[in-house]
Structure 1
Amino acid sequence: MPVDSAVAIPEMLLAWYDRSARRLPWRAPPGTPPTDPYRVWLSEVMLQQTTVAAVGRYFAEFTRRWPTVGALAAAADEDVMSAWAGLGYYARARNLIACARAVAAAGGRFPDTEAGLRALPGVGDYTAAAVAAIAFGRRAVVVDANVERVVARLFAIDTPLPGGKSRIREGADSITPDARAGDFAQAMMDLGATICTPKRPACAICPIREHCAGFALGDPERLPVKAAKAARPTRKGTAFWLESDGHVLLVRRPDKGMLGGMRALPSGPWTDEEPGLVGAPATSNWQEVGNVAHIFTHFALDLSVRSSTAHDRSAEGEWWPIDRINDAGLPTLFAKAAAVAQKARGKR
């Protein structure tokens, strides 16, 4: 890219950002000093593979309950995991707790460099760069999915992903300015989210259209080129709704593995074959009351929901009031299974 374009692009993009920046609860206004590193870090962890719309209420609740990294570090694991319920990708919540405690143990201050941030639990290259730029004003090359798309089109990078990622990062590096690094990173994110969208990009109002090689070629929507996805396998499982005197049995899933550390209905293994009653919390007269279909990143799950009544409470776990099941912090999969069981319960 010509030197004049490498200078003009950040200038034009920042001028557009000053006028058009999205107002988000974790952001400082354009041109103002960097904001609280805790809020930046928390928002970036929440936003990984999750939309801005979905994150808003979770961010508000977390910062209400735990307004500082020290407060979050002192919170009980189960409270944080329950508050995270429904946001998905639950390893992020476990890493969130570990990172908060590491920062608190080091005096409660986040490192202000990418290298220092990357040393924290659960903080990868992207999050370290984002926090360094947005919270500390450091020059850092911040590439999320939105920025990836913008840069692939801007430089007409047609190497299929993930192979093209290194070229995309090089392109992003070439236009990242020393000044206002945080604003520039957020301007690139906003451009991808609102104008340079995956489908039907609004090129007519793009502030850097004149420098875009993808636009000049006439078909920016085809970029970035993505490798064909492998077929997603389907697994099968069973969730068990065991109730007793207005309470239902909940368990805590193992820390390692899918939905680790979350409250859930008891569940058997998730396998290629129907597991039936394997993993049932009690020997009982189990009735199938419905099914739940759920999509994870790497597989789809067909979950059979079985229901029964316990004559005693000898099964291991936590007996939770059924009328307060919405307060249990169940992940989406088990919230859906509980809803199926309750619907069937209401028909009995």
Structure 2
Amino acid sequence: MSRADNARHVPDMAGMDQRAVAERLLDWFASARRDLPWRRTYDPYHVLVSEVMLQQTQMERVVPYFLRWMDRFPDLESLARASEDEVLRLWEGLGYYSRGRSLLAAAGVLVREHGGAVPDDRETLLTLPGVGPYTAGAVRSVAFNLPEPAVDANVERVLARLTNLELPARDPRAKEFLRETARGLIPEGRARDFNQALMELGALVCLPRTPRCPECPLAGFCVARSLGVAELRPLAGPPKEVVRLRMASGLLLRDGRLYIQKRRPNDVWPGLWEFPGGVLEEGESPEQALAREFREEVELDVRPLAPAVEVRYSYTRYRVTMHAFYCADAGGPAAPRMNEAVDGRFVTPGELSRYAFPAGHRRVISFVLDDPRLKEFLARS
């Protein structure tokens, strides 16, 4: 792209009164800010945990998880002593489980190498597991009030509309422009409030599909609004491919217990527990897939007793329909071989709450624990 083409897409900020923008936004934030638990002290550990939890997750979902997390792990030392199983169980339902494992690993590093404290320098923060440029910027600005931009999806949207950025937010030129624009708007000594105000504006007013422009404190400065294109900014990138999968999973019943297994570290949902199963191959019925998966994964012959439940869930670009079955040994009881897992055990229904499961399997559990057939099948197993 030529320099002239680039200029048409990257706005010129010379005509914007950046100081007035910042002052107007801060005035709005003073009255509109939400009472969030990590805003009460700005403890660096609290800020770090909240920012990791907020990655790709809405605020209202994060707050109860944050409160439970802090009740169990009030400081880095208590987190560093935790087991991965305990962390994943506490994280269950929040999704993107690598974030929980990264927090556990980061706590270990900070306790061993930094005296159990979250550092304020960018280079050290970026060496921590799970901490990228955005999280490092958020911790530095929100916890330590340092003049560092923190550009998340909400901030991208606000600044793309404010400046009428004619590039998708994922474009490298757009990322650089948005980061430097955010940096240039930070008032001296007000990084904490300003960055949070930008995020808050994007979350409450400058919404993705239906921006509330009449309520926006920056409406008078917004170039996209003045041109009537606010809803079209930021420009959309190429659509992500959606992959639809059908899966079969089995609740193997034996001696009043159910079999569960723990996924391998390099697999999808590493470290989480599941019921054996997998994706249907072409031409297979769910029952056929169930029998094949048990032979491949645990070297057991099973027969379905009855359908348990069908659940639908999503993760990343996948849309999954999972057929869950109650099943029993078909060739006589034998010890599972665990070809696709690192651990396996038979547990009572009441013990299932001790283990962390992916969302789809947890939905199966929620259903079968209320299913009167489960007690009958267990009694016969």
State TM-score, norm by structure 1: 0.91
Q: Please state if 1:148 is matched with 2:156.
A: yes
CA-based RMSD: 2.3
Question: For residue 316 of structure 2, what is the amino acid of its counterpart?
Answer: T
Give the corresponding residue for 1:87.
94
Give the corresponding residue for 1:187.
197
User: Cα deviations across residues 152-171 of structure 1 (Å, max 9, x unaligned)?
Assistant: 00000021242133332232
Q: Please state if 1:314 is matched with 2:335.
A: yes
> How far off its partner does 1:10 sit?
1.3
Q: Please state if 1:37 is matched with 2:50.
A: no
Unaligned runs of 5+ in 1: 29-33
Change (3 A) 1:3 1:224: closer
Q: Distance in 2 between matches of 1:4 and 1:298?
A: 39
Q: Please state if 1:123 is matched with 2:131.
A: yes
Give the corresponding residue for 2:7.
none
* Count of paired positions: 343
> How far off its partner does 1:55 sit?
0.8
Q: Distance in 2 between matches of 1:168 and 1:347?
A: 60
> How far off its partner does 1:86 sit?
0.6
Bigger Cα displacement from structure 2, 208-217 vs 261-270: 261-270
Give the corresponding residue for 1:68.
75
| Conserved 8 A contact 1:249-1:319 | yes
Q: Distance in 1 between matches of 2:283 and 2:160?
A: 42
User: Cα deviations across residues 200-240 of structure 1 (Å, max 9, x unaligned)?
Assistant: 21211211221111111123111111123133112333222
Q: Please state if 1:233 is matched with 2:243.
A: yes
Give the corresponding residue for 2:18.
6
Give the corresponding residue for 2:38.
26
1:277 is paired with a residue whose SS is helix
| Conserved 8 A contact 2:205-2:215 | yes
User: Cα deviations across residues 67-98 of structure 1 (Å, max 9, x unaligned)?
Assistant: 00110010011111111111101111111111
| Conserved 8 A contact 2:22-2:187 | yes
Q: Distance in 2 between matches of 1:144 and 1:277?
A: 45
User: Cα deviations across residues 234-278 of structure 1 (Å, max 9, x unaligned)?
Assistant: 233322211234321111111223211112222335777754433
1:239 is paired with a residue whose SS is strand
User: Cα deviations across residues 32-86 of structure 1 (Å, max 9, x unaligned)?
Assistant: xx71111000011111101111111111111001100110010011111111111
| Conserved 8 A contact 2:240-2:317 | no
2:192 is paired with a residue whose SS is helix
1:306 is paired with a residue whose SS is strand
Unaligned runs of 5+ in 2: 1-12, 339-343
Give the corresponding residue for 1:250.
260
Bigger Cα displacement from structure 2, 207-216 vs 3-12: 3-12
Q: Please state if 1:345 is matched with 2:377.
A: no
1:285 is paired with a residue whose SS is strand
Give the corresponding residue for 1:301.
320
Q: Distance in 2 between matches of 1:57 and 1:246?
A: 34
Q: Distance in 1 between matches of 2:147 and 2:283?
A: 51
Identity of aligned residues (%): 32
Q: Distance in 2 between matches of 1:133 and 1:89?
A: 25
State TM-score, norm by structure 2: 0.83
Change (3 A) 1:270 1:24: farther
| Conserved 8 A contact 1:69-1:103 | yes
Which protein shows a greater Rg?
A: 2
| Conserved 8 A contact 1:305-1:340 | no
Question: For residue 26 of structure 1, what is the amino acid of its counterpart?
Answer: W
Question: For residue 60 of structure 1, what is the amino acid of its counterpart?
Answer: L
Q: Distance in 1 between matches of 2:124 and 2:21?
A: 30
> How far off its partner does 1:122 sit?
1.3
The one of 286, 290, 308 aligned to 2:304: 286
Bigger Cα displacement from structure 2, 212-221 vs 226-235: 226-235
Question: For residue 215 of structure 1, what is the amino acid of its counterpart?
Answer: R
Question: For residue 174 of structure 1, what is the amino acid of its counterpart?
Answer: G
